[in-house]
Structure 1
């Protein structure tokens, strides 16, 4: 397994949000994490990055336990992160935002990787533009480009299509498909759009109340499972 969690419980303060959480992501695959709002999907991503108050259990990247490692070391081991809300620095330029990702590279390179410019030509012509002036879709592209600048083995994306107009949702989906299928970057993403999840995912992970309640190949994401865990 490229990334694995074994019986992980993750806390904010004294409150456990993830509970006895176990799963794995194989190299080169795309895993879609599904569930209603507030069930722990974002906490899962933050736990992997070491951004919750405390977690117990085993989190490993290529067999190396990282649960006691600080966030910057997890990034250096090859984890790129696109947080919910994107986390773009509005007063920085597009170029400066992307270059922030290079600080976590294991090889010490500090220039914008070609893959960022290849995947996002709109950003290539806007490198010296202030990031706060970009559209919502362009900001999401920028957040992905910044994570790619880490040179990740696995890319964590928390709601990458949230708050984006429908035609841009399709573009983001195609971008992620290319990163996974052409460039071989492993993906773990939380997603609300079932159609997007089915298009991208090799497997799914359904979360409810901080626990894994269903998982398997995407073909097993039936309408019954969706109705049980996603219908309000």
Structure 2
């Protein structure tokens, strides 16, 4: 496997405050990388830094060897990055169709139609394209957020707390969809996660973050209960 995304000594700021501190890691092609840690330690900032959504960052961020760290957010998606933010970022007054089509604006080919994969994976969305997004349940909104990110045509999919606030049976369903995207379609995933079971089921590798720094990393099999206890228990 070759490194698809490379973080090299990245420090990221909001104003003058350092949130991420000298973070380095590689995302291999076809890998699922789980980013774990307590609330407020920098996991969301890591995702936002990849997308260029913090005030500034130093260090190198590369996709397939191309430096993207100095580029504004709208110039990063065409490198093949889809983003499902924490809270989902669904536009409630837009229809399901309109929300998904927003993702196509960032496609490298600018194709203005809903990709077939979005409708094949999410039959509920296919049957409710004209429904106002604000009327969907939490799990349905998460499906919509993933579909919108897939409309970018990503090689890398970033998911910030994809199972947060979703009922247990839907957590399982979302997990199965992410596993299929990763293992069958070959889309590389980075996901922040509080559910240890979900991380262990989906992940190939993990990063444990504490106070803006990576404090542990490795294959998912090396994410011991002791590490979880030390860095995730309140």
Give the TM-score of the pair, scaled to structure 1.
0.99
Q: Distance in 1 between matches of 2:26 and 2:122?
A: 30
- After TM superposition, where is structure 1 displaced by more than 2 Å over at least 4 residues in a row? none
Output one character per residue of 1:60-115: Cα deviation in whole Å (capped at 9) or x when no partner: 10011101111111101100000000000000000000000000000121100000
Output one character per residue of 1:169-205: Cα deviation in whole Å (capped at 9) or x when no partner: 0000000000001111000000000000000000000
1:150 aligns with 2:158: no
Aligned partner (choices 49, 52, 60) of residue 51 of structure 2: 49
Partner of residue 133, structure 2:
131
**Structure 2: unaligned runs, 5 residues or longer:** none
Partner of residue 71, structure 1:
73
Alignment map for 1:82-161 (pairs within 5 Å): 82-161=84-163
Output one character per residue of 1:43-74: Cα deviation in whole Å (capped at 9) or x when no partner: 00000000000100000100111011111111
Partner of residue 182, structure 1:
184
Q: Secondary structure at the match of 1:2?
A: strand
Q: Distance in 1 between matches of 2:10 and 2:203?
A: 23
Q: Distance in 2 between matches of 1:231 and 1:131?
A: 35
Q: Distance in 2 between matches of 1:132 and 1:85?
A: 13
Output one character per residue of 1:129-148: Cα deviation in whole Å (capped at 9) or x when no partner: 00000000000000000000
Q: Distance in 1 between matches of 2:152 and 2:74?
A: 11
Partner of residue 34, structure 1:
36
CA positional deviation for 1:155: 0.1
Aligned partner (choices 149, 155, 173) of residue 171 of structure 1: 173
Q: Distance in 1 between matches of 2:193 and 2:110?
A: 32
Aligned partner (choices 216, 219, 232) of residue 221 of structure 2: 219
Q: Distance in 2 between matches of 1:6 and 1:164?
A: 34
CA RMSD of aligned residues (A): 0.4
Q: Distance in 1 between matches of 2:75 and 2:173?
A: 31
**Structure 1: unaligned runs, 5 residues or longer:** none
Partner of residue 205, structure 2:
203
Q: Alignment length, in residue pairs?
A: 232
Q: Distance in 2 between matches of 1:46 and 1:34?
A: 15
Give the TM-score of the pair, scaled to structure 2.
0.99
Q: Distance in 2 between matches of 1:77 and 1:224?
A: 37
